[in-house]
Amino acid sequence: MMSSDEAVDLSFTDEELTLFALAADADQAIPDDAVPFDTHRQPFGNLLPDWYMPPPASHRGSRRRSIVGAVIILSLVLVNVFGLCVTEGQLEIAW
């Protein structure tokens, strides 16, 4: 661990980041002992903004939203099953 007296500059220039990115091997396999990004993020602060790499999260919608979404999808599928088209906003026979 670093003591509070040691000041370390962890900032990189755009040119340095570009060189790191170009030097990386994209075909290299991920090792079995790899750890998530957030594990190393805390000791070094916020090196990347949250909008660039937000933490993974799952959003569970309400039951009402799920039903509305299912009704919309089902209605579009039924329209296609009957050979109709709604791509221009009006229901018409697709020929």
For residue range 28-45, list pLDDT tens digits in order: 888 888 877 666 666 556
How is the chain split into domains, by residue range? 63-93
Question: pLDDT category, 8, cuts 50, 70, 90?
Answer: low
**Which amino acid does the sequence have at 28?**
Q
Predicted model pTM: 0.36
Which tokens in the block code for residue 90?
A: 């009006």
Is residue 60 scored above 80 in pLDDT? no
Which tokens in the block code for residue 24?
A: 């990386």
Structure letter (DSSP) for residue 82? T
89 three-state secondary structure: coil
